């Protein structure tokens, strides 16, 4: 009994998220749900929670472009489109703190369309809606929040929220592993919310729980917030221990993929450990240890499996006992080799060569030289080129992050090229196995493509694009950055510049500028370091680039300087999934000779 967000690490589709939340509310009831959220909850504590709280709603944050768009999403999910909206206070304040914005900029509304539960009770989907018009300054917030789902939660309403009872319920939640995680009072509806982070072993992919109490309970709220703010200060050793064991997470997921476990499991039915061990050639006891750890990571979930056993001989019947079983989650299914957009190559790469190189991170920090070169005796491009299997794994691992490309076919530059009177050409420089170029050509049948890559990658791209039905519209060039073909209409550099230092970047960009006709556009896909130091995948990848290739992630202003020094001009940039951005540049106008003489 667990429900996941579709592709929850990379979620882009608000409607899919809303539909999943509505389905969850319809399928679960209070008594069955509480033990899933708080494993080990039973006896008087379970009776107290189940007796005083009822499952009220599943909550999520959406980013419609306008009111009509939100109404359409509600209708698509079978929810009432005329549900009354009220201003949010709690979520608006949380967003403002997280993104360092003025709360007045964030007009967050709450809607609670009703849903009938499996037990006949009327519940709701709590929708927080922040309107994000296209190309507005709120798009980075939407991109960040969609991938992290900070506001997704399950809510239980306290039936009789007297002060002592409310504090007692909070104590039960904490005793069973839930951690205070903020809250607030909303005067618009006279209600108090207390948020908790669920324990990692919870058999549910929602990670937050809300207690909702009608009325003003700010004394209880203050104690709850004090507990929240003091938690990390009181437990530094536990926090550090979790951080130090992060390497175990990488290797557990990599072993999960290498052993073929995701392919042997299913997201709908559970398997006994003994059966999985037989299918994968593993030791049953050791496999159970791994699977229990993967439960904490959300890759699998533990589900009891009924097994028939003979009753006493004189009864002539079979009985059933429950044995430990495991079921694949949608997160774990991303590691299946046969799933679209599989992330298995990333697991094998991060748990393999790049894992080894991080053992030399102190060398990279001391010297400024890549640890990969020291560990393997050569740079990673040469090392991978020597081993066709490793080179193929690297190209496939790059393609595994291709979800960041999904919005690119709708980028104004691509859309304009696709609508040009004459067939336009997209030149993908160092385009790997053709994942991005294939996406653009498939979305726009009038576009043509040129892919520039190393010889072995060109052949892989040719096979991929032929299989996708785009090969007839694509030309292939084997070469280096000095071989950028001229005459294209749109040039693309995706995750290339972060591999190199500034001097090499300027050289690459100058090759592009020389090849580009005056009307051409350049799109550069990279992660941008946040100017305010907020959490970002770019910060993590900056360390990865230092350790493995000697490159770096950069701020937008840094890229603007590199463009300017290479004969290009940055027009602007917009967010993509996975904390990436697409930067748009054109050739800088030639200097006016008259003005120069002055």
Q: Of 137, 44, 22, 150, whose CA–CA distance to 93 is shortest?
A: 150
Q: For residue 288, how many C-alpha atoms fall within 13 Å in the half-sphere facing its CB?
A: 10
Run of H or E including 320: strand 318-328
Q: Is the distance from CB of 464 to CB of 392 less than 8 angstroms?
A: no
Tokens (6 digits) for 497: 């510049």
**Measured distance CA(276)–CA(169) in Å, rounded:** 40
Neighbour tally for 188: CB within 10 Å: 10
> 3-class SS at 376?
helix
> 3-class SS at 494?
strand
Active site annotation includes 498: yes
Question: Which residues sit opposite 429 in a β-bridge?
Answer: 452, 493
Torsion angles phi and psi, residue 308, rounded to 5? -70, 140
543: Cβ contacts below 8 Å, ≥ 6 apart = 361
Q: Is the distance from CB of 196 to CB of 208 less than 8 angstroms?
A: yes
- What's the DSSP call for residue 335? T
**Measured distance CA(180)–CA(198) in Å, rounded:** 9
Helices 284-297 and 246-258, packing angle to 10 deg: 120
Signed CA dihedral, 394, 397, 399, 402: sign only: negative
Question: Which residues sit opposite 158 in a β-bridge?
Answer: 53
Residues 17-32 as b or e (16 or more Cβ within 10 Å = b): bbbbbbbbbeebbbee
| Marked catalytic residue, from 380, 444, 498, 544 | 498
As annotated, the active-site residues are 498
């Amino acid at each position: 009994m667990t429900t996941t967000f579709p592709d929850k690490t990379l979620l882009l589709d608000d409607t899919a998220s809303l539909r999943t939340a509505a389905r969850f509310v319809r399928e679960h009831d209070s008594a069955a749900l509480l033990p899933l959220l708080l494993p080990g909850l039973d006896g008087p504590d379970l009776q107290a929670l189940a007796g005083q709280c009822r499952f009220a709603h599943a909550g999520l944050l959406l980013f419609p472009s306008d009111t009509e768009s939100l109404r359409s999403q509600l209708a698509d999910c079978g929810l009432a489109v005329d549900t009354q909206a009220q201003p949010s206070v709690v979520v608006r304040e949380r967003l403002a703190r997280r993104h360092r914005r003025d709360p007045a900029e964030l007009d967050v509304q709450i809607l609670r369309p009703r849903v009938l539960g499996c037990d006949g009770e009327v519940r709701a989907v709590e929708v927080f809606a922040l309107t994000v018009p296209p190309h507005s300054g709120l798009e980075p917030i939407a991109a960040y929040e969609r991938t992290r789902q900070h506001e997704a939660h399950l809510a239980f309403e306290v039936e009789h929220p007297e002060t002592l009872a409310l504090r007692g319920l909070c104590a039960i939640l904490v005793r069973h592993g839930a951690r205070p995680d903020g809250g607030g009072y909303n005067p618009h509806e006279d209600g108090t919310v207390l948020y908790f982070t669920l324990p990692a072993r919870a058999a549910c992919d929602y990670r937050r729980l809300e207690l909702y109490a009608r009325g003003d309970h700010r004394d209880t709220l203050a104690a709850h917030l004090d507990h929240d703010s003091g938690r990390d200060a009181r437990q530094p050793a536990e926090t550090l221990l979790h951080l130090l064991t992060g390497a175990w997470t990488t290797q557990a997921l990599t072993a999960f993929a290498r052993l073929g476990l995701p392919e042997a499991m299913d997201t709908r039915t559970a398997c006994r450990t003994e059966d999985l061990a037989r299918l994968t050639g593993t030791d049953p006891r050791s496999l159970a240890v791994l699977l229990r750890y993967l439960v904490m990571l959300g890759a699998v979930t533990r589900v009891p499996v009924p097994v028939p056993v003979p009753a006493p001989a004189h009864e002539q019947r079979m009985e059933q006992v429950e044995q430990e079983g495991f079921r694949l989650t949608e997160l774990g299914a991303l590691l299946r080799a046969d799933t679209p957009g599989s992330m298995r190559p990333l697991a094998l790469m991060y748990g393999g060569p790049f894992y080894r190189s991080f053992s030399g991170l102190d060398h990279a920090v001391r010297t400024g030289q890549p640890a990969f070169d020291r560990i393997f005796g050569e740079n990673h491009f040469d090392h991978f080129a020597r081993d066709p299997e490793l080179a193929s794994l690297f190209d496939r691992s790059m393609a595994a992050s291709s979800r960041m490309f999904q919005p690119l076919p709708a980028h104004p530059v691509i859309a304009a090229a696709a609508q040009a009177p004459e067939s336009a050409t997209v030149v993908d420089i160092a385009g790997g196995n053709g994942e991005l170029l294939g996406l653009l050509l498939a979305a726009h049948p009038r576009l043509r493509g040129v892919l520039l890559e190393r010889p072995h990658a060109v052949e892989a791209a040719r096979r991929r694009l032929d299989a996708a039905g785009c090969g007839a519209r694509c030309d292939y060039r084997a070469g280096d950055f000095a071989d950028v073909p001229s005459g294209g209409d749109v040039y693309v550099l995706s995750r290339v510049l972060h591999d190199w230092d500034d001097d090499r970047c300027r050289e690459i960009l100058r090759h592009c500028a020389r090849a580009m006709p005056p009307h051409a556009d350049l799109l550069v896909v990279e992660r941008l370091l946040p100017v305010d130091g907020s959490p970002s995948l770019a910060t993590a990848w900056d360390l990865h680039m230092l350790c493995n290739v000697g490159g770096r992630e950069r701020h937008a202003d840094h890229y603007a300087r590199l463009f300017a020094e290479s004969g290009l001009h940055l027009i602007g940039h917009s967010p993509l999934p996975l904390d990436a951005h697409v930067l748009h540049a054109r050739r800088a106008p030639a200097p006016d000779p008259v003005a120069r003489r002055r």
